[in-house]
Structure 1
Amino acid sequence: MRTPGADPSLWRDRRFVLLFSARTVSVLGNAFARVALAFAVLELPGASPGRLSLVLACQALPQLLFILVGGVIADRVSRSRLMVVSDLLGAAAYAGLAAMVLTGHAPLTAMCLLAVLAGTATALFAPAMTGVVPLIVPAERLQRANGLLQMGTNSSMLLGLALSGVTVAFVGAGWALALNAASFALSALLIRGLRVTARPRKASSGWADLRDGWREFASRQWLWAVVAQYAFVVAALNANVGVLGPLVAEEHFGGARAWSLIVAAQALGTIAGAGLAARVRVSRPVLVAVLATFPAAVPIALLALRAPVWAVALAMFCAGVSTDVFSVLWTTTLHREIPEEIISRVSSYEWLGSLAFAPLGLLAAGPLASAVGTGVALAGCSAMVVGATAMALLSPQVRSLRAPEGHGGMGAGGAGASASASAREAPSSASEG
């Protein structure tokens, strides 16, 4: 059996190389923004946990409101063209945020509006990304292609996070946001070369398209059970990564440098996780994916206990490994079980459900930390991850859905997994854009 990585043919595929390069560049920029946006808001005059929560919630809310629209559009038009438009919107949003932070003139209303624009870009991009990989990669190479995409984006995230703390500390958060804007623009230029055409389809209304997507989504218990789980998990992770973690770092660990070390450890874990997921063979992929969510609760609990930075970083590394195992197994199952012609719409319902409570988590995190203390708020987030994951295991289909014979792992010739949800990491402070 050939090992993943032994077959160089994908590197001769111009469209795959363009997509790989675009995602790597975009995620590198987003890694800067992931740290920079939180500290940019906290460094502005009149900064408060509530103000940070509001800006991040404005970024997350459009992802919830417009994700279904993004799914319908992605199944109707050229997915690559939609990705270009989304990247350009993201570039404009982050360029505006960078300009306000660099000039020191950053009205809260303007920051919130630009955060809304950035969130809208993600809502349009995510369903298109889920559906574009099967259109540019032959079926027998999907799994390897997605493994490479995952490795590339994770490595890029690690590099960006490793550099972001230094950038914020020495040249300021505004320049880090400007680099993210440039990365979106370069990504749009690269994706423009994909030229994926829209598939012919019967004329139908947008409402009919939504109903068809819902029918496919609701008919699979394993799908909606895990999405319901992640509605709570993403809310907890968003509150931690976007608000509560930076607050602990600011109050107890010395600021941006310590927090960038912690999130970089998670990114390093995702690289190791991608390597593991590229080789793992499991007969019940959804069950293993759900079980792989439990480690995400550990670093949140350690932050609540004010554990040393090294202990939190180690736990974040382990959580990163398990996150990538979840991502690869989950998206492999989606690509295998959902028809290609409707996958963007089904994916949009998946994103909608998973992000359902994300804005609430971000909006409530700051005020909750002020009211009951950051430690108590973090402990609640950790308990939420554990409880939601335990509930998902009650689903018979989650426990029993099996991979087809010969598709139980990540060998060179299996069915595919998408790199789109590395971002299950929360919308924005966590999303790849």
Structure 2
Amino acid sequence: MTSAAESRARRPRRPEWAGRNYSLLTAAAVVTNLGSHGALIAAAFAVIETGGDGGDVGLVAAARTLPLVLFLLIGGAVADRLPRHRVMVAANALNVVSQGAFAVLVLAGEPQLWQMMLLTALGGTGQAFFSPAAEGMLLSTVSGEQASRAFAVFRMAMQGAAVGGAALGGAMVAAIGPGWVLAADAAAFAVAASLRSFLDVGHIPPREPGGGLLADLREGWREFTGRPWLWAVVVQFSVANAVVAAAEAVYGPLVARDHLGGAGPWGLALGCFGAGTVAGALLMTRWKPRRLLLAGTLCVFPLALPSAALAVPVPVAALCAVMFVTGVTLEVFGVSWMTALHQEIPEDKLSRVAAYDWFGSVALVPLATALAGPAEEGLGRTNALWGCAALVVVVTAAALCVPDVRNLRRTSTPVAKGAPGADNGSADAERPVGGLG
């Protein structure tokens, strides 16, 4: 007979980097992505079914983005001051309340536009506090040479759930209506909050008393501006994300309507982008580029391709191929970026730096989407799309002009976090490199 010890020895073991916290974070991210990406579709159709038009849908979307921009930096400071898992659970609880109330309003009758905007704004506020805490928690959880693989697997699970959630959400909206999809999203947030409440923060050193919230914000700003590679890439993506959002949220559906056959082909193209992100994350479980940000930033250039493809416009099959390639390359950047943050940023400042990163990523998006219509009227849709593509190329080339972006190297272990005299920010310093694929 086989002994219990032999059975345990034969049982497949989890990788060393997939510890308890990592597993809980990944499971919770899958649950929330399944719910939230379906809820985005449900919210839009909830507005439409009450007689709203495209402008009303845009107002509800903007109501979520505005508090996200306003509260991100405060959320980052709070997450570095308080236990991060408690901030995450509290933010999830706010999302449970906002999405649950939204679902009740939709199921009970005809919600007013201001009510939907208010509840969506509460959800955006929760996201502003959750995102910096979650990123800081993940970055502080993973250690060792396999950090980039851990980030790649996490992102692969998250992106796969996003694709599945959008597909499932669309089907559920058609079958049972948007109200029940919003209710399912509230339940998903509740499950995720329960999982995150079991996170162990014993490995994180106690926070030393600081000088208050404003002092924390100033310290985070110094950390952000003191690293050229950090602010250069964030500025790059503040522009790139804005023009890509304008191209895909405003121009993409219009091009699909006029030249590609409608919403179906456009949805297929977006699905190919999602599949590309999963494939890119899978690639990064094996590939470990030595110069993290050089490889990652070079892979941002293809982000210009969808706008160019819509400007032509190319046939549906070619657009799907372009979107897939873009998804792959963008995920190469995403994993490389997370690895660089994990390697270079002191643990006690991770959430504040993440907040500045998120702020840069979303701050210009509302402005860009608002200006997309006037730009189309003044320049023409084709010229506006070529302009979007050109801006992506220009800001990416500008980021590569920063020496630290080109020279930041992968190390076998993270730089000593916050140690006196530690070189926490110089990308030009020669450091040992390990685990290269």
- For residues 274 and 12 of structure 1, do their structure 2 counterparts lie closer, same or farther at Cα, with a shift above 3 Å needed? closer
Q: Give the equivalent residue in structure 1 for 2:72.
A: 67
Deviation track 1:116-141 (CA, whole Å, cap 9, x = no partner) reads: 21211111111111211244444455
- For residues 137 and 63 of structure 1, do their structure 2 counterparts lie closer, same or farther at Cα, with a shift above 3 Å needed? same
Q: Give the equivalent residue in structure 2 for 1:360.
A: 367
Q: Give the equivalent residue in structure 1 for 2:97.
A: 92
Q: Which stretches in structure 2 are left out of the alignment for 5+ residues?
A: 1-11, 412-430
Q: Give the equivalent residue in structure 1 for 2:138.
A: 133
Deviation track 1:84-108 (CA, whole Å, cap 9, x = no partner) reads: 1111222333334444445562322
User: Which residue, 18, 24, 30 being the options, matches 2:24?
Assistant: 18
Q: Give the equivalent residue in structure 1 for 2:162.
A: 157
C-alpha separation between the residues in 2 aligned to 1:110 and 1:373? Answer: 36
User: Which residue, 322, 342, 345 being the options, matches 2:329?
Assistant: 322
- For residues 71 and 125 of structure 1, do their structure 2 counterparts lie closer, same or farther at Cα, with a shift above 3 Å needed? same
Q: Give the equivalent residue in structure 2 for 1:178.
A: 183
- C-alpha displacement of 1:250: 5.2
- For residues 339 and 24 of structure 1, do their structure 2 counterparts lie closer, same or farther at Cα, with a shift above 3 Å needed? same
Q: How many percent identity over aligned positions?
A: 43
Contact 1:218 1:224 in 2 (8 A): yes
- Give the partner amino acid of 1:88: A
Of stretches 68-77 and 380-389 in structure 1, the one that deviates more from structure 2 is 380-389
- For residues 203 and 397 of structure 1, do their structure 2 counterparts lie closer, same or farther at Cα, with a shift above 3 Å needed? closer
Contact 1:279 1:409 in 2 (8 A): no
Deviation track 1:131-172 (CA, whole Å, cap 9, x = no partner) reads: 112444444553333222112112212222333333344444
- Count of residue pairs the alignment pairs up: 405
Contact 2:21 2:199 in 1 (8 A): yes
Does structure 1 residue 28 correspond to structure 2 residue 34?
yes
**RMSD over aligned Cα, in angstroms?**
2.7
Q: Give the equivalent residue in structure 2 for 1:418.
A: none
Does structure 1 residue 288 correspond to structure 2 residue 295?
yes
- C-alpha displacement of 1:53: 2.7
- For residues 41 and 245 of structure 1, do their structure 2 counterparts lie closer, same or farther at Cα, with a shift above 3 Å needed? farther
Of stretches 336-345 and 166-175 in structure 1, the one that deviates more from structure 2 is 166-175
- Give the partner amino acid of 2:187: A
Larger radius of gyration: 2
C-alpha separation between the residues in 2 aligned to 1:337 and 1:174? Answer: 44
Trace 1:130-279 onto structure 2 (pairs within 5 A): 130-196=135-201, 199-249=206-256, 253=260, 256-279=263-286
Contact 1:217 1:224 in 2 (8 A): yes
C-alpha separation between the residues in 2 aligned to 1:384 and 1:218? Answer: 23
Deviation track 1:23-80 (CA, whole Å, cap 9, x = no partner) reads: 11111112213444445445541403x3333222221121211111111111111101
Deviation track 1:374-425 (CA, whole Å, cap 9, x = no partner) reads: 55544433332222212212222222222235646676xxxxxxxxxxxxxx
Q: Give the equivalent residue in structure 1 for 2:427.
A: none
Of stretches 316-325 and 160-169 in structure 1, the one that deviates more from structure 2 is 160-169
Contact 2:148 2:336 in 1 (8 A): no
Does the residue aligned with 2:36 lie in a helix, a strand or coil?
helix
Q: Give the equivalent residue in structure 2 for 1:402.
A: 409
User: Which residue, 14, 17, 22 being the options, matches 1:8?
Assistant: 14
- For residues 258 and 157 of structure 1, do their structure 2 counterparts lie closer, same or farther at Cα, with a shift above 3 Å needed? same
C-alpha separation between the residues in 2 aligned to 1:278 and 1:12? Answer: 13
Q: Which stretches in structure 1 are left out of the alignment for 5+ residues?
A: 1-5, 412-433
Q: Give the equivalent residue in structure 2 for 1:429.
A: none
